Amino acid sequence: MLRIAKWAGLALVGLILLAAGAGTYLLVINPSVSTTLNKQTFWMLTENPELLTRLGAIEGTILDFHSGTLSDNSWGTKADVRRTVEVNLAQFRAYDPATLSGQDKLTWQVMTGLYEEVLAFDTVPWLSPGGMLGSGTPYPINQMFGEQSRYPRFMQSQHVVINAKTARNYVKRLNAAGTKFDQVIGVIGEQAKLGVVPPSFVIDKVLAEMQGFIAKPAKENPLYTGFFDKLAKLDLDGGEKAELAAAAEQAIEGVVYPAYRRLIAAVEAMKGQATPDPGVWKLPGGDAFYALALREETTTDLTPQQVHDIGLAEVARIGAEMDAILRGLGRTEGSVGERMLALGEEPAQLFEDSDAGRQAILDEYARIIAEMQARLPDVFAALPAQPVEVVRVPVFAEIGSAGAYYEPPALDGSRPGRFFANLHDVKETPRFSMKTLAYHEAIPGHHFQIASAMNLDLPLARSFLPFTAYLEGWALYAEQLAWEMGVYKDDPYGDLGRLQAEMFRAVRLVVDTGMHYKRWSREQAIDYMVAMTGMTASDVTREIERYAVMPGQACAYKIGMMKILEMRAKAKAALGDRFDLKAFHTAVLESGPLPLTVLEQVIDAWIAERKA
């Protein structure tokens, strides 16, 4: 019901605005903070049809004005976004925060801070276009989330084909790919003029991915095969289905493939400027940019050196805990990393390198999630209704993708939450690591938190704000919470998997600041992570290359987790026997994603209320 109410309220705001004209503020007297944010969200979504599709709720309905279009990400949108953010910030500053309370005050605090952060990145002229809710990226073409992989992923997993309208709009979006890719080509061209190109190893991976994507005939491309499978399920006559399938094939062959060839040529042209250095220190004003990125990602004022030192201390602490368990298992020879690497290569820990083995991995993840689902009432007062499913990372994107990632459910319930597992190399999924990854990506981690936020009675934007330290901090906290719930009581190898995952996040603090602040090479970062974690070299290489194109992001996980644990310890000390874990979790979750500084204020207020 709350999801429907959110959309009804947002639609009402939109209709008022459309009737009044785009330049009008609001046709209400003294608009509330929530109304103002809903108005801003409405206009943001009209400019971002892909985000509107990801949220779901109006696809294929009479209100669906967007699902045949793609957003404009050309270089010129940077100025447009800046002007919009300035107007939005001015609208919030018109309120006196002293007159606000409850969620209205939080909304004011969160949005003014977020808009100020976006504007702070105006000092970095070479950033790619971002959006109203976050800064841009140094490299819009990269192996992690570049348009060359983001576009087909979006079309496959998020553009729903549920009726004739959404099927026709799928074809329209295929035909819009040429414009979309030309916009990206324009952006990377402007960046190259300013001396900003991806590292050479990123360029090599992206080129290989794109060349592989267009190597097969259009009818064998996943953009066609996925659409064909969805068409087969529609209640349309055979002639219309054949016509739509032929139109998709023609669009892929005549628009999508030529767009990829143009992008390939543009990326190849940058190779002469590229260097193997992974850090943004090499870019104009790179040190200042990294400090900004770290502040944005962690929502703290920690300096790069402070983050680096925290990482070193955590690596030492976690390493000692892992060593103790390994010795208890009779594994005493070599460093912790060497012993974990040897454990990960044992046949008993590995699945068969086959289609059957990969399906067994997906099935095991599903079993782990179902087992945890039954235990959630022990630590949570309320559970989200939205389901989560485990699926494989698309094969064409596996080489550059992370080991796993999560996509939220649609607001209207038409699409479940999805935990994507990368199965390119089965050796990267040893059995002892699987519980922890499932808890992180699904429940009680990302899916639990994000699905819970979608059910809150808050302005729509508050449920999907991009505060990485909160989102990833919660997911990493969920890993430890599972341990506290006793799931590893008789599973020391699973507990080693948990500690290895936490070590992995602690090492991230060291290598991210190492590359972007201390000027480490890619190889130096890889060697350090392999030595400390015992992860496979291929897995680590992919991770290090990820941090190269997402500066600061990898630091948010451990910083966020440590802050949530710090708040919990503070609440326990203050409340003593009156501390209630379920109530604490409700307090952390009931306001949606927040900057850590704001979350701390929320928990302090909750502690004071409980004490009173």
Q: What is the pLDDT of residue 387?
A: 94
Helices (H), 214-354: 222-232, 238-251, 257-269, 286-298, 304-328, 336-344
Contact 200, 275 (CB under 8 A): yes
Tokens of 53: 């599709």
CA distance 568 to 571: 5
Position with higher pLDDT, 17 vs 87: 87
Q: What is the pLDDT of residue 20?
A: 36
519: left (phi over 0), alpha (psi -120 to 50) or beta: left
Q: What is the pLDDT of residue 131?
A: 72
Predicted confidence (pLDDT) at residue 520 exceeds the cutoff of 50: yes
Contact 205, 545 (CB under 8 A): yes
Tokens of 421: 């597992």
Provide CB contacts within 8 A for 256, sequence distance 6+: 174, 177, 178, 221, 223
Laid out side by side, the sheet with 388-392 consists of: 388-392, 417-421, 404-407
Q: What is the pLDDT of residue 538?
A: 87
Predicted confidence (pLDDT) at residue 296 exceeds the cutoff of 80: yes
Tokens of 423: 């199965």
Percent pLDDT > 90 in the chain is: 83
Residue 495 banded pLDDT, cuts 50, 70, 90? very high
For 404, the enclosing helix (H) or strand (E) is: strand 404-407
Predicted confidence (pLDDT) at residue 17 exceeds the cutoff of 90: no
Predicted confidence (pLDDT) at residue 10 exceeds the cutoff of 90: no
The per-residue pLDDT for range 328-364, each reduced to its tens digit, is: 999 999 999 999 999 999 999 999 999 999 999 999 9
Q: Average model confidence (pLDDT) for the chain? A: 92
The model's pTM is 0.89
Contact 75, 129 (CB under 8 A): yes
Helices (H), 161-254: 164-175, 177-193, 200-213, 222-232, 238-251
Q: Residues 489-512: what's their mean pLDDT?
A: 96
Peptide bond into 444 cis (omega under 30): yes
Q: What is the pLDDT of residue 18?
A: 39
What is the residue whose two structure tokens read 């095969």?
225
Contact 588, 599 (CB under 8 A): yes
Q: Residues 166-189: what's their mean pLDDT?
A: 97
For residue 425, give the DSSP letter. Answer: -
Other beta carbons within 10 Å of 352: 12
Distances (CA, A) of 134 to 85, 122, 141, 292: 10, 12, 18, 12
125-139, 251-265, 512-526: least confident range: 125-139
Q: What is the pLDDT of residue 122?
A: 87
Q: Residues 210-220: what's their mean pLDDT?
A: 96
Query: Which residue type sits at 100?
Result: L
- Report the C-alpha dihedral over residues 436, 606, 301, 458, rounded to 10 degrees: 80
End-to-end CA distance of the chain: 33
Q: What is the pLDDT of residue 463?
A: 82
Q: What is the pLDDT of residue 514?
A: 98
Q: What is the pLDDT of residue 137?
A: 87
Predicted confidence (pLDDT) at residue 15 exceeds the cutoff of 70: no
Residue 4 banded pLDDT, cuts 50, 70, 90? very low
